[in-house]
Structure 1
């Protein structure tokens, strides 16, 4: 098999093997101590702060407490927590103790949570607060393997009754477990060091259950070295990201997901100052925390861009004219070819009057945004680049710890997901599938040897299931999912991802699904954005589908999506609905990925109507391009 390959560029970061995750914290305590390393809201309008040494002390005490409570090396511990210090402390404690961490999405269905706890054989579950404690006490009541339920909030146990099913099992606070650990340490001062010496870099550190767009969640097994090598290689690829406390990081993505978690290890090792927020608090946190760095998913940037455009619509007179001029300039900007001369003068002029205000809305100090998790429009990279904010898109999967590639400062190519990180070899097979091998590739799928063998071939290549291409400079572009490629009845193949990305770039469209397998032409199922509908029409129910202006706007959006596409790969008809896809109805995963097959099955009657195979149902607008 002929595979086109690429490796990291020169000066592409540092490769370190043989490291355990606790060793990163130990190094930070010794070499990059930060008195304000970790920060989360205290519930009283302020922030509670942990130093690097505070985390080490609490995690080591909790590690001793967990082992004292009866957990043994290699036992699995589930974390059902918010993405704050209740996760960070518990995660590091379990790893120091030689336990295997099993993070659980708070948004998983009850069925999925029970499956994860049962299949992983988790012997303990650690939670953040009283609501999660009550929820987990019910979910794990009949799972006899779970022997310990721990809670971070000291006050959560006041008046709490776990119920008769928990008789003979233990419910305790982190504080109680840490106190027991401190007593044990006083008697055996070298016990923590012994635990750390027993750790193996290639040993299992975590099992992360991918939510999956189809089927039951499956556990991805990652070693200490998988995660540490990826964290170190990624952070050292950013020459302008400074070690020590001067970098202020806003962390709001779920730590149960590999993207935020690996960045957490990287920032901890570098001694950065991390503030934990939530997706709902981002706008406020940006202006209060004033970060220099953050990681985000594309939707966060898309909403910011939509707000920028909306601000301009509300202005009048000279301010409106100036704002429109700035928007036009930003939309025509290219980060790969910054312009000098008169264009440079105009940029400086607009920067003082408009772009500086954009930066101020993001805190005023934000230099760099790392983006992953989904496709990012090149337009957004260029727009924010015009305003002096560097947006760097990357690509990876849970199975690759996660980073495989990303764009570097000074080497940023919008529309691509960048170059490989050091130590990683990325390839594209003759069929167009993206492959990877290196120290970041998972150990395998938990208790699924056949699926592991199917995913990692005899040459060590991990088959991602994604389609892409490598250019001659080693930049990777992701073009879609292998399983979503379909063939029309005419024999032509269609990759729907470019069409869906273009449709979803329109503010009116929340989700789009393009279909056509076995048919003469492509059609689309379009789910409208409730935010956009409220802003433009003041309502979100199906009556809005009767608005003449809405149909005209949707025709324009589809026409834009079809531009420059092969004629067989264009959308001819679309069915438009106001329904929302949710995790509750099984349409969306906890990572907010759409379960395409489930949605297609649910709306098959609508799709049949698009092809004239059924009567048009009520509650849908059918749009045909002229």
Structure 2
């Protein structure tokens, strides 16, 4: 344990330093894989690789190019792009120039993008394509600090009428300028990296707040250096791993995975196209990947829908296998907790072997066949879905953290993982539970504060370093944390009973294979209700079987047959709840919740106030003339 402590405490001042160390240590090893679409536009993508030294060549060129543009240490360079290998190279280039990256989700509209660019005083914007460039052009008058836009897709880097001279450059041009600069100043990048101090700003991430303007979270270089060492110290990642990285890199969860990879030195396959995940997994064959619960829910619902489409016998086998998986996972995890060995009773093990041949092996093959573990974070995973995957041999290790804590504060420890918990704190992270149940954190991963918002910082960060997470949790005697809800999401009914909505929502997602999103309501009301959005693909399969095929989603959810089907699942949910938690009424939404309408954050977290505003008429309908229930 002392070696781990030393490693965490004696860390270099920055990930830029770690990157230089990694390149020197394994220059020829494969660092990144990335897809290139077939020239004809038809057929599968071609996957190409960059070694650590090849990646470094581009990173140094980007860093030198930014220096040549006049970017100084700690000045902000914004990055508005989907997840792709260039995002990582540009972020490393910014850090190696001693500057700080302001991350911008590509889905962010022009108004909010302009707010982030202005508030962060970003001098340069690295934009993915014409769409991201257009947002900056639209609001250029509001962005006096923005001197250049670097466009990743060269074809989109065309200057337009009204652009200042040299305002738009392509990434290829920036790298060319950087290489020319390095010929004259060969040590420029190394000197910038050597001058970085641990407390220097590295990243500014704007939280997609559910109300008001987003807040910029200031994360210094030391946060990422600590994260890289702490993640590696858990033993969860290894040098021979292949990571599949598709999460949005503008989000802290995606970003932290790049730091851990540099420390471990393994391969990362990068492709942020969500519609390509199913196609990519058998090609990449990852040994680990991170995802948000919505992805696992979609896989689970998809497998259930496929089994149902195969006829009653096939669906019955799936349901039996799913039950065996959950029972096996619970027995194995309980056995590991008691004896240190994951064992299940002989009869259950025999059933599990049969179910594995019929169902689980196909599921593992769909994930590429080599997946050792999947990390889940951002929001809670319904335990019943976690147990299903665990029993099927796909080990989902839930973790926990916030933008303000550099993403990873807790993670489940390998074989000793416990479904329904977020595991144990990373080395160096302290935790305590406040009197009201709020989880408080302290350690090297905690932010410096909110950008230009000292009052907001003081609300959550104590002078002695304790950070108020806003989450309610319970800590077991042996250090496993269970998050029960967001403090602000807990509500009290008019009868005085406290309700944790996410707990009820999680139960329903595990029960109903057709649900996509559910929002439980009932604050200051005399009973609970719910707004429910269904998964369109699963629903269409069900509709085909029940003589409703070919109808659009909005028409289907308005039919009595679909309402009755969902009512059956709500009744099953209510059987397992306390009386005051039961869902008395629900309404099916005319479409699914999404990022584009602002109802989900880019990391697929629910924005409850937005949903409640949007569907206020349906909520009022559910409580019209309500009496005490």
TM-score above 0.5 = yes
The DSSP-based 3-state class of the residue aligned with 1:403 is: coil
Q: Tell me, which stretches of 5 or more residues in structure 2 are unaligned?
A: 39-44, 336-342, 544-548
Distance 2:558 2:598 in 1: 29
Q: Would the aligned equivalents of 2:294 and 2:604 in 1 still touch at CA under 8 Å?
A: no
Query: Which residue of structure 2 lines up, in the alignment, with residue 554 of structure 1?
Result: 566
Deviations 1:448-496 (A, max 9, x none): 0000011101332110111111121211111111112222222222222
Query: Which residue of structure 2 lines up, in the alignment, with residue 621 of structure 1?
Result: none
Distance 1:579 1:13 in 2: 53
Query: Which residue of structure 1 lines up, in the alignment, with residue 217 of structure 2?
Result: 220
Residue among 304, 308, 316 paired with 2:303: 308
Query: Which residue of structure 1 lines up, in the alignment, with residue 293 of structure 2?
Result: 298
- The reply on whether 1:483 has 2:488 as its aligned counterpart is yes
Query: Which residue of structure 1 lines up, in the alignment, with residue 465 of structure 2?
Result: 460
Shift in CA distance, 603/312, structure 1 to aligned 2, threshold 3 Å: closer
The DSSP-based 3-state class of the residue aligned with 2:463 is: coil
Q: Which moved more, 1:144-153 or 1:515-524?
A: 515-524
Residue among 494, 498, 502 paired with 2:503: 498
Q: Would the aligned equivalents of 1:247 and 1:272 in 2 still touch at CA under 8 Å?
A: yes
- The reply on whether 1:175 has 2:175 as its aligned counterpart is no
Q: Would the aligned equivalents of 1:40 and 1:48 in 2 still touch at CA under 8 Å?
A: yes
The DSSP-based 3-state class of the residue aligned with 1:581 is: coil
Q: Would the aligned equivalents of 2:300 and 2:513 in 1 still touch at CA under 8 Å?
A: no
Q: Which moved more, 1:132-141 or 1:110-119?
A: 132-141
Residue among 354, 359, 375 paired with 1:354: 359
Shift in CA distance, 9/181, structure 1 to aligned 2, threshold 3 Å: closer
Query: Which residue of structure 2 lines up, in the alignment, with residue 507 of structure 1?
Result: 513
TM-score (norm 1): 0.91
Distance 1:461 1:580 in 2: 38
Q: Which moved more, 1:536-545 or 1:44-53?
A: 536-545
The DSSP-based 3-state class of the residue aligned with 2:612 is: helix
User: Counterparts of 1:190-339 in structure 2 under 5 Å?
Assistant: 190-239=187-236, 241-243=237-239, 246-277=240-271, 278-315=273-310, 323-333=318-328, 334=330, 335-336=332-333, 337=335, 338-339=343-344
Distance 1:9 1:331 in 2: 38
1:546 positional shift: 5.0
Q: Would the aligned equivalents of 2:516 and 2:534 in 1 still touch at CA under 8 Å?
A: yes
Q: Which moved more, 1:566-575 or 1:542-551?
A: 542-551
Q: Would the aligned equivalents of 2:12 and 2:18 in 1 still touch at CA under 8 Å?
A: no
The DSSP-based 3-state class of the residue aligned with 2:178 is: helix
Deviations 1:244-293 (A, max 9, x none): xx311111111111111111121122111111122111000001111111
Deviations 1:26-49 (A, max 9, x none): 121122445321111122231232
In the TM superposition, structure 1's runs of 4+ consecutive aligned residues that sit over 6 Å from their partners are 8-13, 317-321
- RMSD across aligned positions (CA): 2.6
Q: Would the aligned equivalents of 1:81 and 1:106 in 2 still touch at CA under 8 Å?
A: yes
Q: Tell me, which stretches of 5 or more residues in structure 1 are unaligned?
A: 1-7, 615-623
Distance 2:311 2:541 in 1: 19
Give the total of aligned pairs.
604
Query: Which residue of structure 2 lines up, in the alignment, with residue 125 of structure 1?
Result: 125
1:13 positional shift: 11
Deviations 1:148-183 (A, max 9, x none): 1112234433xx23331x224522122222222222
Distance 2:4 2:184 in 1: 48
Distance 1:318 1:611 in 2: 42
Distance 1:596 1:489 in 2: 20
Q: Which moved more, 1:447-456 or 1:468-477?
A: 468-477
- The reply on whether 1:369 has 2:374 as its aligned counterpart is yes
TM-score (norm 2): 0.90
Deviations 1:426-460 (A, max 9, x none): 12111011110000000000000000011101332
Distance 1:513 1:110 in 2: 29
Distance 2:560 2:184 in 1: 78
The DSSP-based 3-state class of the residue aligned with 1:150 is: strand
Using CA pairs below 8 Å that are at least 6 residues apart, which structure has the higher relative contact order? 1
Deviations 1:570-596 (A, max 9, x none): 222222332333334332323322221
Distance 1:476 1:187 in 2: 54
Q: Would the aligned equivalents of 2:227 and 2:259 in 1 still touch at CA under 8 Å?
A: no
User: Counterparts of 1:375-394 in structure 2 under 5 Å?
Assistant: 375-394=380-399
Deviations 1:92-141 (A, max 9, x none): 11111111100100111222111101111111001233443344333436
Shift in CA distance, 481/9, structure 1 to aligned 2, threshold 3 Å: farther
User: Counterparts of 1:369-448 in structure 2 under 5 Å?
Assistant: 369-448=374-453
The DSSP-based 3-state class of the residue aligned with 1:60 is: helix
Q: Would the aligned equivalents of 1:104 and 1:113 in 2 still touch at CA under 8 Å?
A: yes
Distance 1:260 1:29 in 2: 22
- The reply on whether 1:77 has 2:77 as its aligned counterpart is yes
